[in-house]
Amino acid sequence: MGRPVIPLKMTEEERKELNAWLRRRQMPAAEQQRARMVLLSTEGLPGRVIAERVGVTAETVGKWRKRFEQFRVAGLTDVSMAIYFDPPLANKIDPPFIV
């Protein structure tokens, strides 16, 4: 038997935003996939089950759970992570897009 699963906690506002991502046609598929992983994580499902449903590895699920816990919804977007990992990029992006 593995470790006990602790459901990810999120606000109702965060849940609404991530569900909106899933319905948005212009949303990048990778970001929709991340939203799906995080939303399933709030249901208390093990990472391997989420991974099977979404089509990724359990390690990938863990990575995005941690990213959400640390940076919340902003951490699931490609733009915010580019700024986090490449600070000079922050100077090239208009201020409203910096989270």
> Would you say residue 12 has pLDDT above 60?
yes
pTM (whole model) above 0.85: no
Q: Which of 73, 32, 65, 35 is nearest to 48 (CA)?
A: 65
Give percent of the chain above pLDDT 70.
Answer: 77
**pLDDT 10s digits, 37-48:** 999 999 999 999
Reply yes or no on whether the pLDDT at 32 is more than 80. yes
CA atoms within 13 A on the CB side of 69: 12
Per-residue model confidence as pLDDT tens digits over 56-98? 999 999 999 999 999 999 999 876 555 555 555 555 555 555 4
CA distance 53 to 63: 16
